[in-house]
Structure 1
Amino acid sequence: MRLVTILSTCTALVLLSGPAPALEKGGPVVAVGQSSKNPDKDFTTYSVGWRFPLPPPVSFDALGERLGGQLDLFVEPLFGIITGDADTVEFSVVPMVRYRHRLDQDWAAFVEGGLGLAYSDLRGVNLGSRMHFASQASAGLAHPGQSGRRVSVGLRVRHISHAGLWADANSGFNTEYLVISFD
């Protein structure tokens, strides 16, 4: 339970601190997710993490321009507290690619997706393992914000599963998130 207390404190600090000044090293991300497994099991996940930009491949900028927008690469580690019909924790690290398309001088629409690894201590939902692959996709809007740091708000769908690689049970687990990031 000590880990839950630490994660709760970190989540509260990020939520109460607001956007940080612009940094070259990414920025905070917070997410609230809703999941259900069967009609009788509902879960809420509160997550906090950081987005770390990755250096793009040589032709990445040119590809973004050909698509009419901008491509970014980043890795996003997240710690989460799961509450509801079970109380537990999770951790994921997901490399992601984001495509942004400017709508006007301030606003941009984005889509992003990635595939990484997740640890979840959630039990009683037939996951078969604590280690999983995490595949996720998001869409939303981004605005530069008053501090010069881009604020992004989006909806994310995430699926975790071990793909049947190390256990017979593998029902997978879907979560829909509201995600806010400052980068």
Structure 2
Amino acid sequence: PYIEGGIGLIYSDFQVAGQGLRFNFNPQLGIGLDRLTGETGWFADLRLHHISNGNLHHDNRGINSLALVTGIYF
């Protein structure tokens, strides 16, 4: 089991609805589990993503989403 977190910057060529700018922040937090079985393995994460412009513009509704991410190591 593990906990992960981070923050990123987003600039898009289209404007995200409810955001006054094309530049936004993307903090995220997640928990996960991974297992190694021989030469291969798998992982599963549950992540909370947030997108907002950090109040750099008056139109800053913010968008929250949950993501389930799975994968295989090989």
Q: TM-score, normalization: structure 2?
A: 0.78
User: Distance in 2 between the 1:126 and 1:158 partners?
Assistant: 16
Identical amino acids, percent of aligned pairs:
33
Query: Which of 60, 64, 67 is residue 174 of structure 1 equivalent to?
Result: 64
Query: Which of 36, 53, 68 is residue 162 of structure 1 equivalent to?
Result: 53
Query: Which of 12, 16, 19 is residue 127 of structure 1 equivalent to?
Result: 19
User: Distance in 1 between the 2:6 and 2:67 partners?
Assistant: 15
Asked whether the 8 Å contact 2:15–2:21 carries over to 1, the reply is no
User: Equivalences for 1:69-84 in 2 at 5 Å?
Assistant: none
Structure 2, unpaired ranges of 5+: none
- The residue identity in structure 2 corresponding to 1:131 is F
Structure with the higher fraction of residues in strand conformation: 2
Structure 1, unpaired ranges of 5+: 1-108
User: Distance in 1 between the 2:37 and 2:67 partners?
Assistant: 22
Q: TM-score, normalization: structure 1?
A: 0.35
User: Distance in 2 between the 1:173 and 1:137 partners?
Assistant: 14
- The residue identity in structure 2 corresponding to 1:156 is R
Q: Label 1:155 to 1:129 Cα distance change in 2 as closer, same or farther (>3 A).
A: same
Q: Label 1:114 to 1:140 Cα distance change in 2 as closer, same or farther (>3 A).
A: same
